[in-house]
Structure 1
């Protein structure tokens, strides 16, 4: 005999509250484990495909680990130092860029930026603020990453956790399935499959899109000769998961820098604009339809809200779990709406059997 619904809600509510409290107090401690779990989840389909090719799970995990180490070494030696240097140079150059922008507006629109005007003072203060705050953020980030504790957490614990979870992923899923309450197991499995499908489409698919576009933007802008092209490509690729924001933010930054660097060379400026135009065409017509799909069910506003709320409540660890939790809440909400529309509360006491829509 199943527990009454009131008791079930009490137990599940208590479980959710305990989970939230643990996340609140142990967010920093859980960070490497959350990152390791995310990496294992991301790579599990690769391991499954290698298994279908005839490799054992242990050998598939070993192959993925070796490839990941090679990629990490290449990035550590070639990409990361350049990215850090360009970011620091961009922060240092910000005041000069704003002064050049002010001179440009003053020369061509003298009535807009009169000496001592509020607009002129605001523009001049932007560069100094970016230099001051940006330098502080960069120094703090570098100091944090350089600490022994963070090095151990990020470069030792995270890979170890990811490898062990990837190796035992299928067994862990089977063990969790065995612990599901028998009365609700079919429903939970159905919801879990939908959540996994949403996450697979969004996180795996959109992560791949971000990586491809970020690499394309960075390489293309550097080939054109744009200063700080690697930083612009990294920023544009990083926020591509929010539709149009990556292209707008990266495009505005790249074209703005191109105007200062190539002023008068309209071919180079047009090439920078064309790079982002081509990137958007490829993303909208090839990458996103093929890798993400058209019905992920995560609205951009819902994503921004979840990132803001979880980031405010739980810090950086909250931002990491925001998208999976948002996907889960979305699937559960759609399931609840479907059940509500089949209930007497929606249909009324005198309603007949639920009609099945004509699919002809």
Structure 2
């Protein structure tokens, strides 16, 4: 007779195999974790071109949609093309291909203009600044000497002491840190040069991948929805798809809006620098525009860096620039930004700062830019999950409802300050200051009560009320006892 294991035996066998595999995996992770990390790092490095293409395609998708839907389809309709029963044109793929060609041509043109016009001017500005450093140093030295000539001896001694300390520290830094590590610095520069070649290769691969992503983006969305409905219940799949839409709208709204906003700010800064005759206008405008992408801190960083460069050249130009940047950021924060971005993240200023500090410490510059939309998505998902469970418990989702709530019992809200709210420490004793003043107030009442007993004066009104309340309470107790005695007598 053939042995046939029953259902329990099969279940226990599978459980034992899975447990053994998990134990082996944990052992390998604990004692051989370095190999796993290096393997993941190698895979990530090999996928940099693919990731670059996915990101580039995602960023270019709104531009493609605008060209395809707002321009080409309108031209197609005016040419007499008809839509089918699904609302699609017969030559939809041809329209998509033309839109992709136009989009990628725009990208190539922008990159070419950046490399051909902007980069050389920025390089020229930086080279001039470095070349003129001795002149800037002489100007600063002349200003310091002029200041010291008009100062008293004590101030001169203080300035000389501070200058000597700065010189000693800079000299020690060069002797101890820079010169011994000069070979490592040269090797680091060589590695960075090789990284530039690697980045260029990844950009080419990413450019090709982005074309495929733009061409088949609807197909990717369809496959994702298909998998969601295949592996999850209908309601869970709907929530997964809804959350994906939330991620998409938050990221596209924030990133594209920030790019457009920062471009406008950079152009306005360039025009103002040209009008005010501020040195190196293109370099200053690029610094202000690029740093403006960083939420909250970006404008301050751009203003500080631009002012630092200009103060070496011309302090008056630096002052004009700082005043202009303050005005520009007020215009951007109150007019330009809200018009373009709106409330795309839904975060308060506190959470924006929190997200920048958190993700910036983890991912650096990329975390400063992407931290806000990532945290906005996490915040929105947690809020939706919270509202979902509150709805299941038949509780309101309005946040203001819970501000003065002491506790909820049997679906009924009990509020702070309500005499009927007697549980869960709802009757707050107040802060330490209020307790101090209340105890002082009680001491004054005790003294006044003692004085009134000595002099035979009447009690204060509030004490008389307390006495009357006690008398009434005593009368009620006696009445209840009398009624109880009458009832007992009737029963007998």
TM-score by length of 1: 0.72
Q: Counterpart in 1 of 2:159?
A: 114
* Selected match of 1:273 from 313, 316, 322: 322
Residue among 207, 212, 227 paired with 1:179: 227
Q: Is the 8 A contact 1:114 1:120 kept in 2?
A: no
CA RMSD of aligned residues (A): 4.1
SS at match of 1:115: helix
TM-score if structure 2 supplies the norm length?
A: 0.55
Do 1:233 and 1:250's aligned partners in 2 also have CA atoms closer than 8 Å?
no
2:209 paired with 1:209: no
Asked if 1 retains the 8 angstrom alpha-carbon contact of 2:254 and 2:344, the reply is no
1:99 to 1:330, Cα distance in 2 relative to 1, 3 A: farther
Write the distance in 1 (CA, Å) between the matches of 2:40 and 2:331.
Answer: 39
Structure 1, residues 84-127: CA drift from partner, whole Å, max 9, x if none? 3434554565676467546535643662752242686079849x
Alignment CA distance shift 1:159-1:198 (3 Å): same
Partner-residue secondary structure (3-state), 2:294: coil
Once the two structures are TM-superposed, the CA of residue 203 in structure 1 deviates from its matched residue by 0.8
Structure 1 window deviating more from structure 2 (136-145 vs 50-59): it is 136-145
Q: 2:306 aligns with which of 251, 254, 257?
A: 254
Report the Cα offset of residue 38 of structure 1: 2.1
Say if 2:64 and 2:99, in contact at 8 Å, map to a contact too.
yes
Counterpart for residue 69 of structure 2: 52
Offset at 1:139?
5.0
**Structure 2 portions without partners, runs of 5+:** 1-28, 30-35, 74-94, 397-406, 414-492
Deviation at 1:324, TM superposition (A): 5.3
Q: 1:40-87: CA deviations, max 9, x gaps?
A: 222212222222234422211111111211222121111112223434
Structure 1 residue 353, shift from structure 2 partner: 9.1
Shift of 1:254: 2.8
CA contact (8 A) 1:191 1:331 kept: no
Is 2:213 the partner of 1:168? no
- Indicate the SS of the match to 1:179: helix
Number of paired residues?
323
User: Quick one: distance in 2 between partners of 1:205 and 1:43?
Assistant: 13
Is residue 2:104 matched to residue 1:84? no
Q: Indicate the structure (1 or 2) with the bigger Cα radius of gyration.
A: 2
Q: Distance in 2 between matches of 1:305 and 1:342?
A: 31
Going from structure 1 to structure 2, the CA distance change for 1:257 and 1:50 (only over 3 Å counts) comes to: closer
2:247·2:377 contact (CA, 8 Å) conserved in 1?
yes
Q: Taking structure 1 as reference, are residues 85 and 202 closer, same or farther at Cα in structure 2, changes over 3 Å only?
A: same
2:362 aligns with 309
Aligned twin of 2:13: none
2:122–2:283 CA contact under 8 A, matched in 1: yes
**1:336 paired residue number:** 385
2:411 to 337, 352, 356: 352
